[in-house]
Amino acid sequence: MNIFGKLLPTTIDFITHRSFSMTIPLYDLQKVSRVHVVDNSKLALDGNVYKRMPRIIHCYKKNNNLTRTRLIAGLGDKVLLAIKGQMKKAIIVGCRQRIRKPNVPQFDKNNVVLIDDDGNPIGTRILAPIPAFFRTRGDLAKIAAIATTFV
């Protein structure tokens, strides 16, 4: 059990007159969540510098008991992004969500790799470490082929 989990997070420069209750931040990746693209493709490099951060528009997830509005995506899930005014599919490569399962890594940033409709990555290199279980899954093998470091 997490001993810090009872109390809520804070920032140094916060508003002191809050009178409403908050939940613990869940770090789930769902619609409108901002994301960091980790490719070396042109779209990725431009999109990270654009006025708006790349955001998730839709999560492709099957066999989900949650409603369509609350679809949550995790490591290895396909996702629709809005980058630089365009729509592009991507795969989540690093997730801040605390899964708390053994042997599954948790990252400090939400990383994402851009992808074609066929599932081929657009870029030629991935600039961040990738979880090792990407090698096991067939649909993620193309990303694992480009990756440099595995965690």
Minimum Å distance from CB 110 to other proteins? Answer: 11
Minimum Å distance from CB 86 to other proteins? Answer: 26
Residue 81: CB atoms within 10 Å = 23
Which residues bind to other proteins, rule: CB under 8 A? 1-5, 7-13, 16, 94, 100-109, 111, 127-129, 132, 135-136, 149-151
Minimum Å distance from CB 17 to other proteins? Answer: 9
96-99: list long-range contacts, CB under 8 Å, 24+ apart: 96/27, 97/26, 97/27, 97/28, 97/29, 97/72, 98/27, 99/74, 99/75
CA–CA gap between residue 21 and residue 105 (Å, rounded): 31
Whichever of 120 and 136 has its CB closer to other proteins, that residue is 136
Whichever of 16 and 63 has its CB closer to other proteins, that residue is 16
